[in-house]
């Protein structure tokens, strides 16, 4: 048993050390840089009878219809019965989110999200926020990204909320992540 515990501890330390020293994900600015963007993010919704995973959510999105755009990605934890994001209902909501996020200067940023429930968020095709399951409003693991230049970067996300309360926030910053202002998001 001691050998098993020692091996498990060594594997965990190796995993944490590898993750801690992984190179930041390299983001690519949108090319060409978009102009005339509307504020916020485009969103489409579908309301399945039940959703428990991102795989299910992505299948349901094939039948989604456009919804009221999101003001950004700062949707605080709701109370029971409050609508999810800008959707028409509180529970059993799947959202396909698209648009752009603006970084004002180059550098290495730390990004994380708070989500209730599932989320698969990508910036310029790189996964920057991921949780496949059901949970209360909790953080995704932080991801470091390299932003080569100030400007707009394509953002896409699949989000689902099953039952109870909902939340969806994006944080980013050089060093510790901080709340992203609504003005940092735009869509066509």
For the chain, the structural domain boundaries read 24-187
Q: Contact at 8 Å (CB) between 113 and 155?
A: no
At residue 9 the predicted structure's pLDDT band, cuts being 50, 70 and 90, is very low
- pTM of the shown model: 0.88
Residue 14 has pLDDT above 80, yes or no: no
Nearest to 85 by CA among 101, 69, 109: 69
Measured distance CA(146)–CA(18) in Å, rounded: 18
Cβ atoms 71, 39 nearer than 8 A:
yes
Q: Could you report the per-residue pLDDT of 53-83, keeping only the tens digit for each?
A: 999 999 999 999 999 999 999 999 999 999 9
The DSSP secondary-structure symbol of 61 reads G
Q: What is the mean pLDDT of residues 151-161?
A: 98
Q: In whole angstroms, what is the distance from residue 119 CA to residue 41 CA?
A: 16
Of the options 3.90.550.10, 3.40.50.1220, 2.60.120.1560, 1.20.1530.20, the CATH number for the domain spanning 24-187: 2.60.120.1560
> Hey, is 110 helix, strand or coil?
strand
How far is residue 157 CA from its own chain's centroid?
Answer: 6
Rounded to a whole number of angstroms, the distance between the first and last alpha carbons of the chain is 58
pLDDT tens for 28-51 read 999 999 999 999 999 999 999 999
pLDDT tens per residue across span 103-131: 999 999 999 999 999 999 999 999 999 99
Position 22 scores a pLDDT of 82
Phi, psi of 76 (to 5 degrees): -65, 160
Q: pLDDT band at residue 7, thresholds of 50, 70 and 90?
A: very low
Query: What is d(CA 79, CA 29) in angstroms, rounded to the nearest whole number?
Result: 37
């Amino acid at each position: 048993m001691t050998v098993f515990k020692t091996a498990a501890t060594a594997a965990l330390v190796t995993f944490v050390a590898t993750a801690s020293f992984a190179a930041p994900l390299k983001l690519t600015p949108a090319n060409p840089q978009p102009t005339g963007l509307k504020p916020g993010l485009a969103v489409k919704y579908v309301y399945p009878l039940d959703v428990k995973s991102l795989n299910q959510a992505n299948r349901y999105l094939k039948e989604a219809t456009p919804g009221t755009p999101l003001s950004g990605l700062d949707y605080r934890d709701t109370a029971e019965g409050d609508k999810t994001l800008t959707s028409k209902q509180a529970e059993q909501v799947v959202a396909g989110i698209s648009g752009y996020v603006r970084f004002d200067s180059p550098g290495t940023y730390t990004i994380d999200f708070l989500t209730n429930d599932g989320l698969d968020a990508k910036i310029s095709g790189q996964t920057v926020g991921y949780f496949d399951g059901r949970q209360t409003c909790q953080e995704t693991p932080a991801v470091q990204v390299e932003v080569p230049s100030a400007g707009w970067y394509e953002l896409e996300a699949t989000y689902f909320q099953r039952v109870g309360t909902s939340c969806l926030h994006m944080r980013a910053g050089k060093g510790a992540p901080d709340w992203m202002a609504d003005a940092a998001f735009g869509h066509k």
